[in-house]
Structure 1
Amino acid sequence: MKKDKSDLMRIGQLASLTGLSTSKIRFYEDTGLLIPAKRTAAGYRLYNQAALLVLDLIQRGQQAGFGLKDMKALLPDEQGKWQKASLIAALESKIQDIDAMQTTLTANRQRLESALNHIVNQPDNTDCTDNARTVVEQSLK
């Protein structure tokens, strides 16, 4: 089935639809995240509708904590085939990373709250050095 030219858009149109700058789109193309665009005889880049999906996935992946190298492995290959097993493994791994970060952040918050409560509840005439020493000792417990 032959693609209709109306299905194709220039980089400016793609930028407008995605909210990305044209330089960011070119960067994604240069790094292999976005399948290279077709070019007109005048050298203008042309993108199909699938580029909208790919750019949205890149943005969402980055918001979820995936790096660009990770994203390259997760996006469909040049034939448009998804690597389901790799995608599932990467998503499960990212969820484990987030769980570990949440555990660490919760522990850090508890230590900070403990230090804050100790400082707030100290009498005003407490020596700062003694107070700091006590806060440090309590945070090591």
Structure 2
Amino acid sequence: MKIGELARRSGLSAATIRFYESKGLITAVSRKSNGYREYPLEAVAVLNIIANAQQTGFTLDEIRQVMPGNLSHWKHEELVGMLKKKVADIEAMELKLAQGKSQLQNMIHLIESKPEDMDCDDNADRILRNMGILNFD
């Protein structure tokens, strides 16, 4: 199939497909006498795998490391190891995001709980002291 058909079937632009090809993520394709690229039907599946892997946080280099030239020849141990590492990376990111969210919620609470008779400068000092940023004592 030509690149336009592959783009239509995969939902990716022709430029993206050419980019993936230039990065070695899809195997070399045959060219017709007019110079048009000819892609095998399995290229649609390969492009879907690449797009899904990117959406889950894999870099193109990581994808290239485990992507087989032939879809029936996966590097099982490398693939499982990389998937487990990505899960651990996501869990670490989730923890960091949860901590950041908690800090922001705490700051919101501190700001919104400003005593009526306190001006903004004193409230800022109160918040910074509460957060442990200012310690003049």
TM-score, L = length of structure 2: 0.89
1:79 Cα offset (Å) = 8.2
1:138 Cα offset (Å) = 2.6
Aligned partner of 1:123 in structure 2 is 115
RMSD in angstroms over aligned alpha carbons? 1.7
CA displacement, residues 102-132 of structure 1 (integer Å, 9 cap, x when unaligned): 1111111111111101111113442222222
**2:47 counterpart of 1:26:** no
Aligned partner of 2:3 in structure 1 is 11
1:80 Cα offset (Å) = 5.3
Number of positions where the alignment pairs a residue of Structure 1 with one of Structure 2: 133
**2:58 counterpart of 1:75:** no
Once structures 1 and 2 are overlaid, which stretch shifts more, 122-131 or 107-116? 122-131
Q: Which of 59, 77, 87 does residue 95 from structure 1 map onto? A: 87
Residue 117 of structure 1 aligns with an amino acid whose one-letter code is H
Once structures 1 and 2 are overlaid, which stretch shifts more, 124-133 or 31-40? 124-133
Q: Quick one: distance in 2 between partners of 1:124 and 1:17?
A: 62
Q: Quick one: distance in 2 between partners of 1:48 and 1:140?
A: 61
Q: Which of 24, 46, 57 does residue 49 from structure 2 map onto? A: 57
Question: Identity of aligned pairs, percent?
Answer: 35
Q: Quick one: distance in 2 between partners of 1:105 and 1:138?
A: 21
TM-score, L = length of structure 1: 0.87
Contact 1:10 / 1:47 at 8 angstroms: preserved in 2? yes
Q: Quick one: distance in 2 between partners of 1:10 and 1:132?
A: 63
CA displacement, residues 49-87 of structure 1 (integer Å, 9 cap, x when unaligned): 110111001100110001111111121136852111110
1:41 Cα offset (Å) = 1.3
**Structure 2 unaligned residues grouped into runs of 5+:** none
Residues 99-110 of structure 1: pairs in structure 2 closer than 5 A: 99-110=91-102
Q: Quick one: distance in 2 between partners of 1:96 and 1:77?
A: 27
SS at match of 2:38: strand
**Structure 1 unaligned residues grouped into runs of 5+:** 1-8
Aligned partner of 1:36 in structure 2 is 28
Residue 21 of structure 2 aligns with an amino acid whose one-letter code is E
